[in-house]
Structure 1
Amino acid sequence: MWDQLSKFKYDIIRLTGKNRLRILILVFNRSFWAIFVYRLERGMYLTFGNAYSILRILFLPILRLLEVYTNAEINYKAEIGKGILILHSALGIVISGYAQIGDDLTLTGGNVIGSKDAGKFGDILLGNNCFLGANAVILGPLQLADNIKIGASACVVKSCLNDGAALGGVPAREITG
């Protein structure tokens, strides 16, 4: 639980940017609440293990209302490093419980990180400092290296292990030049 709190502190630092006074209006930000709910649920899951799946039933009405408000569905089983930044959650965000994501993930909105078929935890691996453009989709199982930038409306269905690559198109391919 403490690990998730320290990651949440870093998430808030990324959300506020250079203007630290933004923390005063942060509580009205949908992205803040989406990340807060994920970190809280993840901490509970790490504390109680699979028993949290049953305990969670008590909180479902509140969780569903927050999901509707934030327009983000981030599965508590997904492992996301510190510094997740959601720029426009009103467009919708979905992250599968099969995902393992590094630090400093940036989502611009309308993003889906999911699986093509029933899978297992770790089927979707994203490195550190990845950026997803508006409406970009990642469908695993696949692995992406560090510093990957995915263009708007791209659909990534194959692994890319080149650090710093830019991906675009449907299906997404590495963009050079």
Structure 2
Amino acid sequence: MIQQFTYWMFDIKRMLGKHKVRIVHIWMGRAFIGVMLYRIERGLFLTFGRFWSLGRVVFSPIFYLLYAYSNLEINYRADIGPGILVLHASMGCVVSAKSVIGRNLTLTGGNVIGARAGCPDRGIVIGNDCSLGANAVILGPVRLANNIKIGAAACVVRNELNDCRILVGVPAKPIK
């Protein structure tokens, strides 16, 4: 739980950017609410394990209302490092439970990090400092290295194990 709280502090710092005055209004934003819900649920899952799956039934009416407001569906079983930044949460984003994602993930809006049939647990691995353009999709099982930028409306279905690449197109391929 403490780890998720410290990760949430990094998330807030990243949302604020250079303008620390944003703290006055950011706490009502969709991205803030969605990331906060993920961090709370993830912390409770790490604390209580499989029992959280049963216990969350009690809180589900509140969670579903807040999920509907935030337009973010980040599964509590997804393992995401500190520094989540969602730029346009009103477009909606989905992150699968089968994801393992490094620090400083940037979601532009309309993004899906999902699993195809037969994708194993932890089958979607995304490195540090990756960003997804508007409506970009990652369909696992897939492994992506560090500093990967995925262009708008691209669909990643293959591994990219080289750092510092830009992927575009359907299916996504690196720019040469």
TM-score, normalised to structure 2, is 0.99
SS of match in other structure, 1:8: helix
- Residue type of the alignment partner of 1:116: R
1: CA distance, partners of 2:8 / 2:112: 21
116-125 vs 95-104, which moves further: 116-125
Alpha-carbon shift at residue 121 of structure 1 (Å):
2.1
Q: Is residue 100 from structure 1 mapped to residue 111 from structure 2 by the alignment? A: no
TM-score, normalised to structure 1, is 0.98
Q: Is residue 51 from structure 1 mapped to residue 56 from structure 2 by the alignment? A: no
Q: Deviations over 1:75-101 (max 9, x none)?
A: 000000000000001111000000000
Alignment of 1:1-177 (within 5 A): 1-176=1-176
How well do the aligned residues superpose, as a CA RMSD in angstroms? 0.6
Structure 1 unaligned residues grouped into runs of 5+: none
Determine if contact 2:120/2:141 at 8 Å carries over to the other structure. Answer: no
SS of match in other structure, 2:167: strand
- Residue type of the alignment partner of 1:124: I
Q: Deviations over 1:85-139 (max 9, x none)?
A: 0000111100000000000000000000011114332100000000100000000
- Residue type of the alignment partner of 2:56: R
Determine if contact 1:100/1:121 at 8 Å carries over to the other structure. Answer: no
2: CA distance, partners of 1:9 / 1:142: 29
1: CA distance, partners of 2:147 / 2:53: 33
- Residue type of the alignment partner of 1:24: V
1: CA distance, partners of 2:13 / 2:120: 32
Determine if contact 2:168/2:174 at 8 Å carries over to the other structure. Answer: yes
